[in-house]
Amino acid sequence: EVQLVESGGGLVQPGGSLRLSCSASGFTFSTYAMHWVRQAPGKGLEYVSAISSNGGSTYYADSVKGRFTISRDNSKNTLYLQMSSLRAEDTAVYYCVKTSGSRLLGYFFDFWGQGTLVTVSS
Amino acid sequence: DIQMTQSPSTLSASVGDRVTITCRASQTISSWLAWYQQKPGKAPKLLIYKTSTLESGVPSRFSGSGSGTEFTLTISSLQPDDFATYFCQQYNSYWTFGQGTKVEIK
């Protein structure tokens, strides 16, 4: 059974940093590209970042480029999102998402974690 | 960037109704479109990919159609478990979501 368990969310002040983790199980983590998608309270889904199966390719939405860094440790079956210079508008539930393929582009999202809430407020 | 526009934003329907949700892309995305269902407080769940391919375990009352820039999700006979928010997503050029359609009880 595929499982994605996010952790690391919480309350952080504007300008602060936070690192999210996503522990994966039930599938061969190293063979799939992974993504982060967020959802502000009561809002729709917003794409955040992607990483290929071997970590060699990454992609960021313009809204987070230069502030967030996606990475993965295939030996630990774990996906990360390092977030810095956080703003109030980054407040959202952050979902870890598995795709249906190994490369960065051309695949849909076939499994989502339950999400972790990040609140940016003073 | 490709923009995705869903309509309607909210849909009121009764159990047993046939329901159709439309998603329009700002440029052609071939058949690279997926649909997701999200219930309150839960993660989105994949329903359909490549416009019309049903994900394993998804009831056959769900179907998808379209190509190019216009796509539809149809629920042939709405069931109590189907009241939720539905999102379309293009994955032809990076990834973009529609704004969502909330299906509520009439």
Strand, helix or coil at B28?
coil
Residue of A108, A109, A114, A117 for testing the chain B interface, max B β-carbons within 10 Å: A108
pLDDT tens track for B59-88: 999 999 999 999 999 999 999 999 999 999
Q: Are B87 and A44 a contacting pair at CB < 8 A?
A: yes
The pLDDT of residue B74 is 98
Chain A residues with CB-CB distance to B99 below 8 A: 44
Q: Are A47 and B87 a contacting pair at CB < 8 A?
A: no
What chain A residue is nearest to B51 in terms of C-alpha separation?
A108
The percent of residues in chain B predicted with pLDDT above 90, rounded, is: 98
Q: Above 90 in pLDDT, residue A106?
A: no
Q: Are A35 and B95 a contacting pair at CB < 8 A?
A: yes
Number of neighbouring beta carbons within 10 Å of residue A73: 13
Tokens 């700002």 locate to B26
The pLDDT of residue A120 is 98
The pLDDT of residue A93 is 98
- Segment B23-42 shows an average pLDDT of 97
What stretch of H or E contains A13? none
Q: Which two tokens stand for residue A3?
A: 């499982």
Q: How many CB pairs under 8 A join A and B?
A: 53
The pLDDT of residue A59 is 96
Chain A residues with CB-CB distance to B49 below 8 A: 100, 108, 110
